Structures are given as structure tokens and as C-alpha cells.
Amino acid sequence: MSRHHLRTARGAGPVLVVMGYDRPLHEFFLQLWDDGSEAEADEPAYSSLDEPAADWRDIVTVVRRLEELDVAVPRSMIDAVVADSIRRAGNRIVEHALDGRVTELSA
């Protein structure tokens, strides 16, 4: 599974976007976590797992859901997740920044 992280804002609050490619399921996934200064949440504010009927094999589903949730991510993040699906990448964690910086945390 690949995981791509981005700390950004949604509305008035900070949010952590986690998205990637799940190799065994051959699907993309998306999670939003409230990213406040308080203790970490046990559950994401949004999870694609809660929408099993959606077509998570298509990156368009991820892009649409981000738009519906009013969360902007750099195009490079979407492209990196798609590239992971093409390469069937696993065990990859990447931190993205709004200014386009990318930090590979594991490979």
C-alpha cells in the first residue's frame, strides 16, 4: 500500500489528507483526519471505506470526493498516487506540501 500525506486546511480547521493505492485490493483510498493540536483522533473525519459502493479503482472518484469535501491537494499528489497504481507500489510513504515539496519517508 502506498500512503501520501498532506497537511492542509478545510474550512477553518487543519486537516491531514491521507490517500494512496492499496495493492491487494487494486483500489485507491482517501481519508481525512482532523489535524488539531489536541490528541489524535481514533477515527478519520472521512474514509473511503465508508463508501464501498463507490468505484475506488478510478482516480476520478478520489478527485471528485476531494472536490465535494472542499479539500485542495497539489496535482503532483494525485499524479504520484496514479503512478503508484501503475507501478503497483507498496510500502511507500510520502509527505507532500502545498508548495510542491515532496519528502519520501520510506520506499
For residue 10, what pLDDT is reported?
A: 84
Q: At 48, give phi and psi (nearest 5°).
A: -65, -20
For residue 87, what pLDDT is reported?
A: 94
For residue 41, what pLDDT is reported?
A: 67
Write out the three cell numbers for 54.
Answer: 463507490
Q: At 17, give phi and psi (nearest 5°).
A: -95, 125
Interstrand relation of 13-22 and 102-106 (parallel, antiparallel or unpaired)? unpaired
- Residue-wise pLDDT tens digits, 13-54: 899 999 999 999 999 999 999 877 555 667 899 999 999 999
For residue 4, what pLDDT is reported?
A: 96
- Residue-wise pLDDT tens digits, 38-97: 556 678 999 999 999 999 999 999 999 999 999 999 999 999 999 999 999 888 999 999
For residue 19, what pLDDT is reported?
A: 97
